[in-house]
């Protein structure tokens, strides 16, 4: 046993120092994941409800019922990854080799054109492929997120990894920006030119994106190193599963992350679907949604230059909280003031989103702080279990957004049919437009509250925690 521990210690000590390869590899991890996740966020509801013809109530039920399975597989995969015997000194990287190809494949088949099938077949395909996609995403994303804590134990290097992850997610939206140009087409209906969603084009698009996602996961696997060696006997010292879950509720930094992450998936990501619908029914040009990629990348491009000096001066929490005030003011103004020019509307959304750069770039680094806080308070690490609990809550938010949006639209615009322009009445259009602004306003307000009032690691506590855990940058 002692010889195995010594061999493992030698393996960790001989690994190359942290460097650009780790940053590039970690960048491609979220680049590959978001070639799938962002498409699900933007297009799954529109594809199945508007094109395939799934009843919104049935679609909502599928989204919610899938979370029942998540209640099992997310914590279990996190728990297993924490306790898995290292393979060549790696606990988390091997999961990428299993989940990566699975995620790339199922992401394409989720958009198979089943419009010719009977309704029961369409409903079954929607349910089965979404459940399999959810499992594949869990297999990749929980170990990938946990890697941030084991690639390095230094705060500045973890911030670089978090920035690389956020930039990777943003850059993934560049190829996704081409999708509206491919799937929206002007057609004449009843003598009127309308912009229509062509869902049959989604399957070949996703095959192409899946290919690039698979390459990205391989770049991740071969370029990052797990360097933070588990303490001797740590596996034996791991708290029981239920005790780990119970301790989550005493971890205020993690609770802040849960609130912010759930708000992001329920309200902020859902706003993208509503923005897309607003462009189609209010401004009659769904292809303009391509511009929203630039809107979402803007805070990343801005933050790359600002985030490091701001974190040094103000700390991560203040760098997130202070700029968010500007976004909240702009969204409130857009909700109150009528805006009929599409470019003014897009420009204001871009400006509001620019103020969110701190949250976009640092939220993943805050997860590592929450994991360290758990070790600081409880004396043991549970990286995978803690991260899986966070991802589980984000997936609950994704399910709620996927189910809530179609139901809410059915309530506020009951006669609206995206492929029937005669239903684009003033009342329906105004309802969708207002929702598209109200959602990000609520979402970023909750993010503000989470980091301003719930997150409780002061600058002094943070420095003490880093010293106690031997995670200083020196």
Residue 321 banded pLDDT, cuts 50, 70, 90: very high
- The predicted model gives 242-261 an average pLDDT of 76
Percent of the chain past pLDDT 70, that is, above it, reads 85
pLDDT of residue 5: 46
pLDDT at 337 over 80: yes
Give CA–CA dist 91/85, Å, rounded. 7
CATH superfamily of 15-230+239-468: MFS general substrate transporter like domains (1.20.1250.20)
Q: 3-class DSSP state for residue 115?
A: coil
Residue 145 banded pLDDT, cuts 50, 70, 90: confident
Q: pLDDT by residue (tens digit) across 190-248?
A: 767 777 888 899 999 999 999 999 999 999 999 999 887 655 444 444 455 455 556 56
Q: Which pair of structure tokens corresponds to residue 107?
A: 């992401």
- The predicted model gives 294-306 an average pLDDT of 75
Residue 79 banded pLDDT, cuts 50, 70, 90: low
Average pLDDT, the chain: 83
pLDDT of residue 205: 95
> Which is nearest to 107 in space by CA: 40, 20, 178?
40
Residue 135 banded pLDDT, cuts 50, 70, 90: confident
pLDDT at 439 over 70: yes
Could you write out the three-class secondary structure of 292-342?
HHHHHHHHHHHHHHHHHHHHHHHCHHHHHHHHHHHHHHHHHHHHHCCCCCH
Who wins on pLDDT, 428 or 380? 428
pLDDT of residue 134: 86
Q: What are the structural domain ranges in the chain?
A: 15-230+239-468
Q: Which pair of structure tokens corresponds to residue 26?
A: 């970690």
Residue 68 banded pLDDT, cuts 50, 70, 90: low
pLDDT at 2 over 50: no
pLDDT at 102 over 70: yes
Give CA–CA dist 402/67, Å, rounded. 12
> Which is nearest to 241 in space by CA: 85, 146, 382, 131?
382
pLDDT of residue 277: 87
Give CA–CA dist 95/72, Å, rounded. 18
pLDDT at 450 over 90: yes
CA dihedral of residues 255, 256, 258, 262 (deg, nearest 10): 140
């Amino acid at each position: 046993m002692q010889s195995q521990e010594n061999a493992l210690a030698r393996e960790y000590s001989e690994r190359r120092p942290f460097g650009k390869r780790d940053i590039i590899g970690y960048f491609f991890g979220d680049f590959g994941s978001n070639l799938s996740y962002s498409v699900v966020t933007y297009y799954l509801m529109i594809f199945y409800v508007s094109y395939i013809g799934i009843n919104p109530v049935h679609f909502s039920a599928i989204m919610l019922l899938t979370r029942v399975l998540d209640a099992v597989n997310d914590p279990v995969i996190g728990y297993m990854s924490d306790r898995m015997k290292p393979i060549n000194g790696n606990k988390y990287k091997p999961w990428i080799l299993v989940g990566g190809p699975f995620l790339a494949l199922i992401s394409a088949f989720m958009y198979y054109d089943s419009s010719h099938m009977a309704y029961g077949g369409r409903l079954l395909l929607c349910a089965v492929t979404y459940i399999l996609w959810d499992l594949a995403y869990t297999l990749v994303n929980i170990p990938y997120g946990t890697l941030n804590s084991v690639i390095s134990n230094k705060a500045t290097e973890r911030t670089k990894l978090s920035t690389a992850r956020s930039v990777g997610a943003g850059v993934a939206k560049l190829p996704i920006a081409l999708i509206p140009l491919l799937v929206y087409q002007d057609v004449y209906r009843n003598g009127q030119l309308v912009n229509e969603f062509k869902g049959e084009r989604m399957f070949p698009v996703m095959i192409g994106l899946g290919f690039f996602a698979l390459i990205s996961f391989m770049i991740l696997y071969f370029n990052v190193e797990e360097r933070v060696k588990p303490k001797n006997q740590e596996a034996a010292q791991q708290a029981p599963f239920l005790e780990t879950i119970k301790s989550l509720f005493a971890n205020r930094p993690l609770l802040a992350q849960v609130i912010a992450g759930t708000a992001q998936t329920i309200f902020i990501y859902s706003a993208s679907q509503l923005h897309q619908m607003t462009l189609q029914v209010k401004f009659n040009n769904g292809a303009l949604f391509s511009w929203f990629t630039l809107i979402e990348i803007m805070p990343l491009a801005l933050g790359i230059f600002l985030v490091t000096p701001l974190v040094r001066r103000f700390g991560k929490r203040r760098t997130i909280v202070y700029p968010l005030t500007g976004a909240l003011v702009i969204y409130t103004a857009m909700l109150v003031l009528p805006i009929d020019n599409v470019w003014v509307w897009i420009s204001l959304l871009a400006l509001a989103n620019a103020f969110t750069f701190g949250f976009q770039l640092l939220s993943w680094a805050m997860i590592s702080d929450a994991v360290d806080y758990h070790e600081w308070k409880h004396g043991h690490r549970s990286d995978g279990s803690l991260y899986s609990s966070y991802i589980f809550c984000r997936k609950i938010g994704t399910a709620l957004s996927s189910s809530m949006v179609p139901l809410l639209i059915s309530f506020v615009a009951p006669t609206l049919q995206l492929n029937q322009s005669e239903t684009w009445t003033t009342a329906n259009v105004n309802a969708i437009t207002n929702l598209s602004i109200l959602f990000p306003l609520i979402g970023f307000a909750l993010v503000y509250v989470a980091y301003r009032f719930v997150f409780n690691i002061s600058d002094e506590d943070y420095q003490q925690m880093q010293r106690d855990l031997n995670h200083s940058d020196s």
